[in-house]
Amino acid sequence: MKASPTQVRVEVLRKLDCYQPSVSQSPSPEAWRCSPRDGRPFWAERLQSHFRDNCYHYPVVLDPDGSPWQEANRYLLSRLADISPISHRTLESIAGDLAHFRQWQLDDDIDFLNVPGRPRARPTYRYCAFLHDLVGFHTIKASTAKRRMSTVQNFYRWLEHDGVRFPHPLWVESDTRLSFKDAKGLQHQRQVKSTDLTRSFRTARQSHDFSEYLEDGGKLRPLPKDEQIALVEALQRIGNTEMTLAFLLALTTGARLQTIFTLRSKHVASPPRDGTVSKRIKVGHGTLINTKYGKQMTLLVPVWLYTRLQIYSQSPRRLQRVAKSQHTYPEVDEQYLFLTRAGQPYYMATSDPFAFLYRSPPRGNAVTQFIHQQLMPNLNQHGHDFTFRFHDLRASFGMNLVESLLDQHSERHATDEQRPEFFQTLMYVRERMGHSQLSTTEGYLNYRKKFKIASHLQSEFESFLEQIVKEE
């Protein structure tokens, strides 16, 4: 959406070089001389307090007149000094929240640095009330309001750290205990700081016991076997080789979109060993292949599919697309396995050296367009009315794996001696899915059990109603 001239907006710089002014008589060799029209010349030195000399896709918050909002932009710059590198998407999200806060200030003529004695007149409480109004009118979700409030709180904390002194508290802070499960499924509690502002956005937890969705990095819907078959048949009818191979990879490995479309040709170069049923491909940090949070794991690609990927990597169709690519990598085999007809990546890796050339690097939009413009219409034409997202294929793989393993070790007939074997099954599913928390894997087991119970009860009730109608 294009912002009007009267709105605060976020502009993204493709590349930001970080420097600091210096009047040193012996500047470093990399420094360059600045000669302003008015004032003394100075040197621009690399910013030593930051871990990175530059940042790609750096967001800047601009006021309606086009001038940068100084405090917000200095806060964003300070985030580059974090020990844990912040992603440009996270930084852009923070900038968007601050832009929303700034727009509210200008619309209501509020000085965000003026903190009066009356608590409800302070800018933090007034902005919190404004967010509650937006939630009440269903303009935004409570979770969005809570995130924006948290961003503003962190901004004010930085202002205080930066030397700004406020005469009155900006919120009431207290200690609270947070319950969570560790990677092994053990329950723990941790003491955290909480404020009356963010606590005000608590919502009643909804029950999803018999929902058709499960939680795995978002709400996912595992596709039943008949829908998976219909999906593959539709892909074969359409004949898009890249999409067919990518969808099959998702269904057989559970890999996310960002992982599949950042595979390089070198990852399918080595032949599988004789007698093996799958080929191992390492993904994550250090492999050029993106995963969520860079987590390292191994994909087990069925040999029959891996062989097709090898054939495709050397096919005239792919080589024509490679020839159209404007990006030349240090090694030829570091080119993406899947490219669009124009030679562009479907999803550009975060470490890609050419990412700065794009204001918004490709993030799978072409895949989403394919689903809506070609795949769904084809399914509808052949009598299928279900909808899905690419990420649902990951959940479908997870449920296929769970069903297959539990058919071998049924919970109904499990004895105490078989329990350890069942736990090993759970751990295997977790490893294949790359779950950091065991509770996420347990969600697949609970989904299978609860959804089947709900379906069975509904079926029995419908049969009961049908029998009553027949008797009449």
Listing DSSP states for 228-296 in one string gives HHHHHHHHHHHT-HHHHHHHHHHHHH---HHHHTT-BGGGG-SPPPTT-SEEEEEEBTTTTB--GGG--
Q: Looking at per-residue confidence, does 239 or 355 come out higher? A: 239
pLDDT band at 351 (very low <50, low <70, confident <90, very high): confident
Strand partners, 278: 302
Is the pLDDT at 49 greater than 80? The verdict is no
176: amino acid identity, one letter = T
> Taking the model in full, what pTM does it have?
0.74
Q: Which of 349, 371, 271, 364 is nearest to 313 (CA)?
A: 271
Is the pLDDT at 290 greater than 80? The verdict is yes
- Residue 408: per-residue pLDDT: 64
Rounded (10°) CA dihedral 280, 282, 288, 294: 140
Burial (CB < 10 A; 0-12, 13-18, 19+), residue 370, is buried
Q: 132 — phi, psi (to 5°)?
A: -65, -35
Strand partners, 16: 55
- Residue 53: per-residue pLDDT: 61
> What's the pLDDT tens digit per position in 306-331?
999 999 999 999 999 999 999 999 89
275, 260 Cβ separation under 8 angstroms: no
Q: Which CATH code fits 224-387?
A: 1.10.443
> What's the pLDDT tens digit per position in 75-114?
999 998 776 778 888 999 999 999 999 999 999 999 999 9
- Residue 420: per-residue pLDDT: 54
Q: How far apart are CA 233 and CA 227, in angstroms?
A: 10
436, 430 Cβ separation under 8 angstroms: no
- Residue 428: per-residue pLDDT: 78
What's the chain's length in residues? 472
> 């008797």: which residue's tokens?
471
Q: Which of 56, 75, 60 is nearest to 16 (CA)?
A: 56
pLDDT band at 266 (very low <50, low <70, confident <90, very high): very high
Burial (CB < 10 A; 0-12, 13-18, 19+), residue 457, is exposed
49: amino acid identity, one letter = S
From residue 428, give the alpha-carbon distance in Å to each of 179, 354, 415, 424: 26, 37, 20, 6
Is the pLDDT at 360 greater than 70? The verdict is yes
Per DSSP, the three-state class of 206 is coil
- Residue 4: per-residue pLDDT: 47
> What's the pLDDT tens digit per position in 161-175?
999 999 999 999 887
The tokens of 188 are what? 């723990």
pLDDT band at 155 (very low <50, low <70, confident <90, very high): very high
